[in-house]
Chain A
Amino acid sequence: MLAYVNAVISGILIGLAYAIAALGLNLIWGVMKVINLSHGAFIAFGMFAAYMSVKLLGVSVYTSLIPIFVAGLIVGIVAFFVSLYRVLNAPELTTLLSTYSLSLILIGLGTFFFTTNPRAIDTHLGSITLGYSSISYSRIIVGLISLFLAGTLYLFLFKTSLGKAIRAVSQNPTAAKLYGINTTLVLSISFGIGVAFASVSGALIASLFPFTILSGGVYELKSFVICVLGGLGSPAGAILGGLILGLLENLLSLKMPVDYMPFIEFSILVIILLIKPNGILGRR
């Protein structure tokens, strides 16, 4: 029984971290109708950035989150101009392949520098005990930081003028342009924020689980599943989807080996696509 409680709490906490990753993907899709296939690569980037900060600079992984966010933002903006700026109006195929090629370059370089050996970050924080099971403090912190980030994104999108501009462009790019909004600026910053969120989520996940340069792909798949579950274009959906996935994973892992997860997640993806392609909360 207590194992279930533990699973539920863990599920919610990790679900929030997944939600942060998914929010990054979601924002980019919402604003420029591009599915960022380099999402996983940037998650891995965040993981390794956190690892290097801890190992080389001796900084706590939580302190590294801010520079990782900023780095992600800058790298994202650059990536936008390198791979997407010229091809935004091209057929969908082109943008898919563009971001995909980015991921190849990043993962290729990453494999070269870091090899595929697994790494881990130990936060030395200990845990709270609940009867016979325990929840590590690092999970709780990850959950809280994720909530904070989600809240900040909400405030940004709804209370700042740049945020409003981003929402305007995502609803009607032409009209936004006519209102004098610099769409290039908006698009590049949106992509930057998306990448920043991916990177930070990678750092957060790295504080909890071991990872390799190839782990990004696994979390990218989870992000896709979440976005499809919650509905592409709905930030609330991303959070809802994240929680659902987190819960599902933790509850199922009580019954079956974790190796089956990608298969199950993929099956969920296909089933949702069949029954409710716009997701639970989505708009087209």
Chain B
Amino acid sequence: MQKGYTLFWLLPALIALVIYPIVTNNVMLRETVFLILLSITLSISLNIILGFTGYVSFGHIVYYGIGAYFAFYLMYAYKVSLIVSIVLGGLVSAAIAFVLGQAVLSLRGAIFAIATIGVNEAVKSLINNISILGGAMGLYFDFSIYDNYGGALKAIWLSYYLMGTLTILSVIAAYYIKKSKFGLGLFSIREDQDASAVLGIKTKLYKSLAYATSAFFPAIAGGIFAFKAGNIEPSGAFNLVKSIEMIVMVMLGGYGSVAGSALGALFYEKIKSILLVMPYVKDLHLAVSGLILLIIVQFAPSGIVGFLTKYFKNLRKVLE
């Protein structure tokens, strides 16, 4: 595909966002940005299977949860180091996604969607019942684990640096996938799966790889957050609302666009922060997200980026 300039502005902007709380040493700002970075990472990752390949993954948060539990358990029971744990969590999650993908991605998008809806429920019910993983109560760190990282305070900053790095890596990865031959294949599959197969694309393999990649980054994020929180339990790790938010963010920003996912995450977090302080609206979180999604799907299915590039064609090269 042709040369694009998206990363030229997106990367510096992200780096600036990450550095800002570090430079000002502002803990509250750090926490806010922490959540924004998580949203961006989740949104960008989901876009790989949703926007690039055209398969809606409901309940995608399950990979965040799997990565969180796996990494947490390694640190908790086997005292494995943070970075090794979270990366292993990422790989395990990706492997599970790949295998599941081989099973259900060969079918139409709608059937895949149904399968993913079941996934979250299924995993949650499983984990609620397995006692090694703490069951419904979850697991808690012995806080002495943080001593290995220079104490609790330093450990939290470490988590922050890792999250920032992860977000930036995920954006770069998503962008280069999109511009690669693999990405071209994915977009082709999205447009017409049967034609893609006839043209020589190994559709099943490509779809599974996309799905695995989309699971990898959320899983690592899960590990980071579990480490930071010091505890883990099913409803936090497999938070269905986050799954829903991921979809809304991707569609809001513009599915298929890396910049779109980042923008969508930012916009959504901003809207949320405004709404959550309004008295009645805050309990209507779910309903409002649903309404946003409905409006986007009915009237602006290509999201913010689609809207902008329709009226300002020159923006196409910077909003990929």
Contacts and interface: CB of A to CB of B under 8 A. Distances in A.
A and B touch in the complex (CB under 8 A): yes
A109 B284 contact: yes
Given A104-B293, A221-B117, A263-B122, A111 B283 contact: yes
Contacts of A97: 56, 247, 251, 293, 297
Contacts of A228: 111, 114
B118 A224 contact: yes
A24 to B, nearest CB: 15
Interface string B210-251: 000000000000000000000000000000000010010001
A1 interface: no
B285 A108 contact: yes
**Chain B's interface: helix, strand, loop or mixed, by majority?**
helix
Nearest to B301: A94
A108 B293 contact: no
Nearest to B121: A262
Contacts of B119: 266
Interface string B156-181: 00000000000000000000000000
Interface string A110-137: 0110000000000000000000000000
Contacts of B58: 37, 100
B295 to A, nearest CB: 8
A17 to B, nearest CB: 20
Contacts of B251: 97
B110 interface: yes
Contacts, number: 134
B309 interface: no
A91 B302 CA distance: 12
Interface string B248-288: 00010000000000000000000000000000000111111
Residue with the highest number of chain B CB atoms closer than 10 Å, among A104, A108, A259: A104
A87 B290 contact: no
A4 to B, nearest CB: 24
Nearest to B104: A273
Interface string A269-284: 1100110010000000
A101 B294 contact: yes
Contacts of A105: 286-287, 290-291, 294
Interface string A86-103: 110011111011101111
Give me the 9 closest cross-chain CB pairs, A-B, nearest first.
A104-B290, A108-B287, A108-B286, A266-B122, A105-B290, A101-B293, A101-B294, A266-B118, A262-B125
Given A86-B298, A96-B56, 7 more contacts: A105-B287, A220-B117, A225-B118, A270-B103, A270-B115, A273-B107, A274-B104
21 contacts: A35-B110, A35-B114, A37-B113, A91-B54, A97-B56, A97-B293, A100-B58, A104-B287, A104-B290, A105-B287, A105-B294, A106-B287, A106-B290, A111-B283, A217-B121, A225-B118, A257-B129, A262-B118, A263-B123, A266-B121, A274-B104
Interface of B: 50, 54, 56, 58, 100, 103-104, 107-111, 113-115, 117-119, 121-126, 128-129, 244, 247, 251, 283-291, 293-294, 297-298, 301
